[in-house]
Amino acid sequence: MITIRGLTKRYGANTVLDGINLGIAAGERVAIIGPSGTGKSTLLRCLNYLDRPDSGVIGIGDLTVDAASASSAQILALRRRTAFVFQNYALFANKTARDNITEALITVQRKPRAEAEARADDILHEIGLSDKSASYPAALSGGQQQRVGIGRAMALDAALMLLDEPTSALDPEWVGEVLDLMRRVAERRQTMLIVTHEMQFAREIADRIVFMDGGRIVEEGTPAQIFDAPQDVRTANFLRRVR
C-alpha cells in the first residue's frame, strides 16, 4: 500500500506540486495524464527524492518518509522500494545491457553475482534482448535501450515502479515494442505509477487514471469514467485536445 499525503514542491515562487494526496493499492496500476508542465514528472521524481519535496509524507509499506524530517537513510530506503524508468532511458553508459541489470542487484541488494546474472539473463530473455547482453547502451537503438531500462527496473522487484513518460523520447518506430513490454509488466500486476501521453495505452493497462493540472489532482477514476465521462471541464478540454 502506497500513500502520498500533502506532497508539495516549489521552485522559487512557482508551486509545481500543490498538496498531492494519492493512495495506491498493491498491484494497482495508475496512470497520470495531464497537460505539459503540470507537475506529473515532478510528482514521480519527488516520490523517490530525485527531487526533494518541500513538504508532505510518502508511505510505502511500513516505511514512512516525511519531507520535514527525511534522513538520508530514509531516502535510501525509499529508493530501494521503488524502481524508476526514465524518459531518456539513463542506462549506465559504462555498463553492458546485462551489467545495467545486475549492477543494483549486486551493489545495492547484495545478491551473489551468479544469482544476479541468472536473473539478468532471464530478464534479457523476457525483454527479447538476449543477443544484446554484452552490448553497451551506445550500441542499442532507443527502443532497445528503453527495454533494458524497464528490465533494470523489473529486476529490482520494487514495491512500486515509477515510469516517467517512457515512450516520449522514442522515435515512433520504437514506441510499439516498449508499450508491448510495459503491457506485459502491467499484466503481472506490478504496482505501477506511470506518467504517459499514450492515452490508448493508459486506458488499456491502468486500473485508475489520475488527471493533473496546475500541480493538483483534478480528477481521478476508472479509465471509463475519465475518458468517457470526465466530470471536470479541464479534463474534458484536455482529452478533446489530445484526441
Which residues in this chain contact another protein in the complex, by CB under 8 A?
48, 50, 76, 79-80, 82-84, 86, 88, 90-95, 103-104, 107-108, 136, 138-139, 152, 156
| Residue placing its CB nearer to another protein in the complex, 95 or 203 | 95
d(CA 40, CA 212): 7
Task: With H, G, I as helix, E, B as strand and everything else as coil, classify residue 106.
Answer: helix
| Residue placing its CB nearer to another protein in the complex, 90 or 236 | 90
Q: Provide the CA 69 distance to its chain's centre, in angstroms.
A: 25
Q: Which cell numbers hold the place of 231?
A: 466530470
Q: Which residue has the cell 525483454?
A: 127
**Backbone angles phi and psi of 241, in degrees to 5:** -70, -40
Amino acid, res. 97: A
d(CA 20, CA 4): 7
d(CA 235, CA 123): 38
| Residue placing its CB nearer to another protein in the complex, 100 or 235 | 100
| Residue placing its CB nearer to another protein in the complex, 84 or 238 | 84
Instruction: Please report how close the Cβ of residue 77 comes to another protein at its closest, in angstroms.
Output: 8
Q: First vs last Cα of the chain: how many Å apart? A: 33
Instruction: Please report how close the Cβ of residue 72 comes to another protein at its closest, in angstroms.
Output: 8
d(CA 80, CA 88): 21
Instruction: Please report how close the Cβ of residue 48 comes to another protein at its closest, in angstroms.
Output: 6
Instruction: Please report how close the Cβ of residue 53 comes to another protein at its closest, in angstroms.
Output: 15
Of 32, 1, 7, 34, residue with least CA distance to 21? 7
| Residue placing its CB nearer to another protein in the complex, 29 or 152 | 152
Instruction: Please report how close the Cβ of residue 141 comes to another protein at its closest, in angstroms.
Output: 11
| Residue placing its CB nearer to another protein in the complex, 157 or 232 | 157
Instruction: Please report how close the Cβ of residue 80 comes to another protein at its closest, in angstroms.
Output: 4
